[in-house]
Amino acid sequence: MSPHSAIVLAGGLGTRLRPLTEQRPKQMLPIVDRPMIEHVIAKLAAEGTAEVVLSLGYRPDAFSAAYSSGRCGGAGLRYATEPEPLGTAGAILFAARRAATGNGEAGGGDPFAETFWALNGDVLTDAPLSELLALHRARGAEATILTIPMADASRYGLVESDGTGRVSRFVEKPASGAVTSGWINAGVYVLEPSVLARIPPGRPVSMERETFAAVAADGSLYALHSEDYWIDAGTPASYLQANIDLISGRRATTLGALSPRATVSPGATVVGSVVMERATVEAGARLDGSVVLPGARIGAGAVVADSVVGYDAVVGPGARVAGFTLLGDGVTVAAGESLQGGRR
Ligand code: GDD
Ligand code: MG
């Protein structure tokens, strides 16, 4: 049986996705048809998780406003907002303690006194979590990590394990130049409550740099290798890719590229791109490998390639936006103007 409860980390600043994250946390940015966080929680709910505690810091109100019913993605939702950033392990401890002391909510018991899930809130995957749990139980592990093969592990955590899955080494953000190819931490964990006891309270603690090292040293950290679909949607290129993968048949489910509430001229060309609700694409415009957020407007004859057009932003007629450009909320690109990379 799947653990009843999960902690999902969603308190980061989303620095790499600025200016899109100036008004909202990255987990509230839409991926095709819903905020990122709903995709993450729907995956947990599909695998049997009933309750999620969202660990928040930066702009927590964006979540409570969107999910005022207390439900999200098919699971019950609670919030634990840190007074200051506590790092990935500190945040998990804080969230677990908050849930245990009731947080003003009804319902008894401590949901984190038994095996639970913990996830990075920017990770989308089709890997079967049941297999992760099965390995965890079979080995009697204290913590078990989902891992994914990666040619360049330098922006991830590199995880080395033996034939039984036992982890011998965890290296967070290995320096490029060192060993950079291998199995990386997918940011999806099964944890025993004893892991919480290893996290010193009241100061920032990194799961990746501190806590996992201690569990590995005791021989009770395990890793499951998975070659299923996985992406961390937290950079401009990977945010674009996460959207495009969901419309192009690379995922277990495929979604429509054009919102039924968007207006796309029959004279526009849209290739491998997502156009969200209330957005407009005029005649002669061309979209390629791009994401147009709600309410944005692409003028006649404009070209947008490998870029994100922010909420209610305007790309003027004949303008050209390319090379992983991010346009913030309400920004205007003048008619005929050309932008290559960068942020506005
Ligand atoms: N509550 C809270 N407090 N959340 C935080 C904090 C914090 O202090 N710091 C980060 N987060 C959240 C982020 O919002 C995100 O959902 C998650 O924790 C991971 O943070 P990222 O900033 O996205 O980390 P990363 O992508 O560089 O690296 C992590 O993820 C990789 C896989 O995607 C590490 O876990 C790597 O080891 C891993 O390979
Ligand atoms: Mg990330």
**pLDDT attached to residue 103:** 52
161 pLDDT exceeds 60?
A: yes
**pLDDT attached to residue 101:** 81
pLDDT-based confidence at residue 181 (cuts at 50, 70, 90)? confident
- Decide if 123 contacts 231 (C-beta within 8 A): yes
**34 CB contacts (<8 Å, ≥6 apart)?**
none
Averaged pLDDT for residues 172-181: 80
**pLDDT attached to residue 2:** 87
188 pLDDT exceeds 80?
A: yes
pLDDT-based confidence at residue 107 (cuts at 50, 70, 90)? low
pTM here is 0.96
**pLDDT attached to residue 342:** 84
Give Cα 254 to chain centroid, integer Å. Answer: 18
Averaged pLDDT for residues 214-225: 97
**pLDDT attached to residue 105:** 53
Q: Which two tokens stand for residue 5?
A: 């409860």
If you measure from the C-alpha of residue 208 to the centroid of ligand 2, how many angstroms do you get, rounded to a whole number? 12
If you measure from the C-alpha of residue 208 to the centroid of ligand 1, how many angstroms do you get, rounded to a whole number? 9
Q: Which two tokens stand for residue 344?
A: 């506005």
> Given the CA of residue 185, which atom of ligand 1 is nearest to it?
39
**DSSP per-residue letters across 278-316:** T-EE-TT-EEES-EE-TT-EE-TT-EEES-EEPTT-EE-
**pLDDT attached to residue 104:** 44
- Mean of the per-residue pLDDT values of the chain: 95
Q: What is the three-class DSSP state of 134?
A: helix
Q: Ligand 1 site: residues with CB under 6 angstroms? A: 9-12, 55-57, 82, 85-88, 91, 120-123, 156-157, 172, 184-185, 187, 208, 232, 234
pLDDT-based confidence at residue 102 (cuts at 50, 70, 90)? low
Angle, CA 17 vertex, CA 15 and CA 23 arms, to 5°: 80
> Considering only 168-182, 187-201, 254-268, which range has the smallest mean pLDDT?
168-182
> Given the CA of residue 122, which atom of ligand 1 is nearest to it?
16
Averaged pLDDT for residues 51-66: 96
User: Alpha-carbon distance 250 to 150, whole Å?
Assistant: 17
Choose which residue among 7, 8, 9 to substitute to test ligand 1 binding: the one with the highest number of ligand atoms within 8 A of its C-beta: 9
Report the sign of the C-alpha dihedral through residues 164, 167, 169, 170, in that order.
positive
**pLDDT attached to residue 108:** 62
DSSP 175: P
If you measure from the C-alpha of residue 120 to the centroid of ligand 2, how many angstroms do you get, rounded to a whole number? 7
Q: Indicate which ligand has the atom closest to the C-alpha of 155.
A: 1
121 pLDDT exceeds 60?
A: yes
Percentage above 90 pLDDT, the chain: 93
pLDDT-based confidence at residue 176 (cuts at 50, 70, 90)? confident
Q: Which amino acid does the sequence have at 70?
A: G
**pLDDT attached to residue 304:** 98
Averaged pLDDT for residues 31-36: 98
If you measure from the C-alpha of residue 322 to the centroid of ligand 2, how many angstroms do you get, rounded to a whole number? 24
Q: Indicate which ligand has the atom closest to the C-alpha of 81.
A: 1
Averaged pLDDT for residues 151-176: 94
> Given the CA of residue 10, which atom of ligand 1 is nearest to it?
14
